[in-house]
Amino acid sequence: MSRSPAGRSIYSQVAQDIAASIVVGRHPVGETLKGRSTLAGHYKVSPETIRRALMLLETASVVEVRPGVGAVVASQEHAKEFLHRSRDMGDIDALRGRIQALMGQQQELGQQLAEAMHRLLDAVDRFNYLNPLVLYELEVEPHCTQKGKTIGELNFWRNTGTTIVAIRRRDSTLLSPGPDVDFREGDVLLIVGDEASYGRAKQHLYPDSVPKDKKTEGQ
């Protein structure tokens, strides 16, 4: 006898097998089934398991257990109904097991997600602590009143707290520009600083009007 899906008891499997034998006519109505010990040897189970299987069949009106006689086949039709119900119960048990497995997986995934989120937030906090400076872009627009003046004339670092690491000018890039480099229309200043110092840089370059914020792509 093969094992049924997880969750089905052995005695219910025995009951199903006996019911199937009744349905196919192996045990006609009115026949007395073999004794518990014989059935136990046939199915390789204990007599107690056979007793419980017969009780299950009697509850379903498939057999009638008569004292001193044994289990008598009562109804082939009820045996069919019992098998249908048993298959439905097997499907329910299989679905219940599947749902429990999925819920376990969902709980595990939820824990993994929570741990990953915690590590991400921790990494972001450490990154922000260790890297408070951001690379900003600041363009010298046509209305900029400071164009033509040099970095030194404007005391850019002293007045803003930012460092100009490069200037993009047309098709070239001036790296680490010195104090004598002047600001020209169309220049894009690449400056390093925090948000507050970037605001001071905008106000210093545009004392009358402040352009829109710009951060370098990917920052």
List the domain boundaries for the chain: 10-83, 134-205
Residue 59 dihedral angles phi and psi, to the nearest 5° = -60, -35
CA distance 159 to 83: 89
Paired tokens of 128: 């922000």
Architecture of domain 10-83: Orthogonal Bundle (1.10)
Q: Name the percent of the chain lying above pLDDT 90.
A: 37
> Does 134-205 match 10-83 at the fold level?
no
* pLDDT tens per residue, range 3-35: 443 335 888 889 988 998 888 888 899 999 888
Helix ranges (DSSP H) in the chain: 10-23, 36-43, 47-59, 76-130, 156-160, 195-205
The predicted model scores a pTM of 0.40
DSSP H helix total and E strand total for the chain: 6, 6
Q: Between helices 47-59 and 36-43, what is the axis angle to 10°? A: 110
**Residue 132: what pLDDT?**
64
Report the CATH number of the 134-205 domain.
Answer: 3.30.70.1450
Looking up tokens 């690491």 gives 165
